[in-house]
Amino acid sequence: MRRGRYAAGPGGGRPAVRRVVSLVPSLTEAIAVTAPRVLVGATDWCTHPAGLDVVRVGGTKNPDVPRVVALAPDLVVANEEENRAPDLDALRAAGIDVLVTEVRTLPQAFTELSRVLVDGCGLTGPPRWLDEAEAAWRAAEAEFDTVAVVPVWRRPWMVLGRDTFAGALLARLGVRNAYAGHAERYPRVPLGELTEPGRARLVVLPDEPYRFTADDGPEAFPGLPAALVDGRRLTWYGPSLRTAPEVLGEALRAAGA
pLDDT at 10 over 90: no
pTM for the structure as a whole: 0.89
**pLDDT confidence of residue 2:** 31
| Per-residue pLDDT at 257 | 84
Give the pLDDT band (50/70/90) at residue 59.
very high
pLDDT tens-digit readout, 111-126: 999 999 999 998 989 9
| Confidence class for position 16, pLDDT limits 50, 70, 90 | confident
Q: Mind listing the domains of the chain with CATH numbers?
A: 20-136 (3.40.50.1980), 140-254 (3.40.50.1980)
Q: Which of 178, 191, 176, 257 is nearest to 224 (CA)?
A: 257
Q: Check whether 11 has a pLDDT greater than 80.
A: no
pLDDT of 15:
62
Please say if the pLDDT value at position 13 is more than 80: no
Rounded to whole angstroms, the Cα distance separating 208 from 230 reads 8
Reported as a single tens digit per residue, the pLDDT across 36-46 is: 999 999 999 99
**pLDDT > 60? residue 72:** yes
Band (49; pLDDT cuts 50, 70, 90): very high
Residues 183-223: tens digit of each pLDDT? 999 999 999 999 999 999 999 999 999 999 999 999 999 99
